Amino acid sequence: MSGKTTDKLTTRTLDRLKKEMTSGEVWDTDLSGFHVRAGKRGLSLRLSYYNHIGQRRVVTLGQYGKLTAAQGREAAKEALAVIAQGGDPRAVEVEAQNEARRQQEQTLRAYLDGPYAVAQRRKKDGLATLRRIRRAFESWLDRPMSSFTRADVERWQGERESKGEAYSTSKRHLGALKTLLGHAAQRNFIPDNPLVGVALQRPAMSEDDMAEQAAQRRYLEHDEVEALFSGLDAYQELKREQRRLSRAHGKAYLPDLDSVMFVDHVKPWILTMYYTGFRPGDITGLRWEHINLTFRTARKVIEKSAHHRPEPMTFPLSSAVVEVLTAWHKQKGEPKTGLVFPSHRNGKRMDRTAMQKPWATVRKLAGLPDDLLLYSLRHNFASQLVMAGVDLLTVSRLMAHSDIQTTIQHYAHLRPDHTREAVEAFAKQRKSSTQFFIENAVS
């Protein structure tokens, strides 16, 4: 104890030292290794000892004020008992700190900001996914991921519904979170995904909801198709007239739109969707490298299923869409590479909402219903194929559905009634046999 400041560490002593000491240590005269250290946060009660391999270790028992002098002394005695049996209190403390750190790393916020952010930045819509989870589950961010339960999801769904959020939107939010939890479980950040098998409760659909859903997934009637093409022509003429006026009023430097087939990307973009049934994202991401106008094919990775089906798929192109793309290709200077429909603002990929305003204009010019979504062109493509008698497996492939059950669920009801033809053919055979029997019996 030579060279050390010593005193019996009682409550009176510690209260005095708390006022007088700003640094240094005072060692207890009765219990070996038990001492107090002064620091910025006050007095810390500590124990110095040697472990079983002769290393000097120090373990902090607690802050004076949170621990009394008697509690600190008792904690020191318990630690010495562990040491006497070959244990190491400091190792236990370090492990507790590490576990607390691991728990902190396993919170939703920490995983979003760390490993999952790295993984999502490699994906096209990764940043949007991170924002979706962060906003939808803001109150969960500082909770350990393993603590999420079915009850949490049910409460969360109730809160989202009370704010007017659509079931489909909540379902996408939860799906994004469950994918994150699966990612964390696969990499052993958490033992397992706590929300496996947990799904939202589907609310009962009102008549208005069912009508809206039917309107969204429908095909175009013949007169609507005619109106669509007329609307596209009207859109082109509107843009040309606007350009004529601009050129006539001091902006002669603007290109003359009367001399080109397409005034902008809108008509070829919409016609490409109409004739291929591609999803909007696949058209926005379509590149000239994907298209072979000679062989009339498009070969690309489908963006919606790229995470589990990264290989490209080949689609035949009809002569109608080849004609459109050939003209657009020539108008753009016959590029060999690059986006087919780049943004006119910066030449990069168009924003996912970039076609909403042009579609609204075309729809208005065509006199089409306000609730006719741009996505209806994809449904129309599949519906018309099915009604023409194309088998569902072929339609499923052309639609790039990952499962034919999706095609069956949404389009099977449109098939020609071959079952009725079959039973009628059977009945005719039976009727012919009966007539033959009657005629021979009479003769």
pLDDT at 13: 95
**Per-residue pLDDT tens over the stretch 394-405:** 999 999 998 889
* 431: exposed, middle or buried (Cβ count in 10 Å: 0-12, 13-18, 19+): exposed
Q: What b/e sequence results for 294-324 when a residue is b if at least 16 CB atoms lie within 10 Å of its CB, and e otherwise?
A: eeeebebebbeeeeeeeeeeebebeeebbeb
Q: Within a 10 A sphere around the Cβ of 8, how many other Cβ atoms?
A: 12
Q: What gap in Å lies between CA 28 and CA 275, rounded to an integer?
A: 88
pLDDT at 305: 75
pLDDT at 112: 93
Q: Within a 10 A sphere around the Cβ of 325, how many other Cβ atoms?
A: 23
* Ordered structural domains, the chain, with CATH: 6-103 (3.30.160.390), 108-197 (1.10.150), 222-381 (1.10.443.10)
Q: What gap in Å lies between CA 349 and CA 436, rounded to an integer?
A: 71
Q: Which residues of the chain have pLDDT under 70?
A: 1-2, 95-105, 204-217, 306-308, 416-422, 426, 429-443
**Per-residue pLDDT tens over the stretch 118-156:** 999 888 788 999 999 999 999 999 999 989 999 999 999
pLDDT at 2: 53
pLDDT at 435: 59
pLDDT at 208: 47
